[in-house]
A = this chain, B = another copy of it.
Amino acid sequence: MDPQEEIPLALRAAYLMLHRQSDAAFAPYGVTADQFVLMARLSEGGAMTQKELAICMPSDPSTVRAMLVLLEERGFVRRNPHPTDGRARTVLLTAAGRRKFRQLWKAGESIRTRAVCEMSCEDAQTLVRLLRQYSASLNPSLMVAAVVNEG
């Protein structure tokens, strides 16, 4: 049977497994796996607008907003008015948010090493490359080129 047909289900199974395990690992700290992703992006990228955050997560802007509301209530994140763009708001981690993220990074270590000890560095590189290639091939914003090539 076609190996390509199996990609979607294998991808789904792997992601859901990762998500479950991550949620379990972060739960004692009162944070979800996706909140961890958001904080990781803010941690490395510094202050950015909600739109930019949504793009680099990647997630829907309305989803990001819902997450930010929860994180802001708990004091991990702050949303300030954008200095030049009146529509936008700049998001950043508070001191408490940075502190929490350091905790989470250590809590997530077990998952990363657990998955890693079974997989060589080479295989990991290949996996990341193929995942990115797969994402890119599904991205409709890249379809323009394909259509143009056909015409």
Taking Cβ atoms with an 8 Å cutoff, the residues of A that contact B are 3-19, 21-22, 37, 58-59, 111-112, 114-119, 121, 123-128, 130-140, 143
Contacts and interface: CB of A to CB of B under 8 A. Distances in A.
Q: Can you tell how many copies of this chain the complex includes?
A: 2
Given A3-B125, A13-B135, A119 B130 contact: yes
B115 A7 contact: yes
B11 A115 contact: no
Report, nearest first, the 10 A-B pairs whose CB atoms are least far apart: A118-B137, A15-B15, A10-B131, A3-B124, A3-B125, A127-B130, A4-B116, A14-B131, A14-B135, A4-B124
A8 B125 CA distance: 12
Contacts of A15: 11-12, 14-15
Contacts of A19: 12
12 contacts: A3-B124, A3-B128, A7-B115, A8-B22, A9-B37, A10-B128, A11-B15, A13-B132, A14-B131, A17-B138, A119-B134, A126-B126
Nearest to A34: B12
A139 B14 CA distance: 10
Contacts of A21: 138, 140
Contacts of A138: 14, 17-18, 21, 111, 114-115
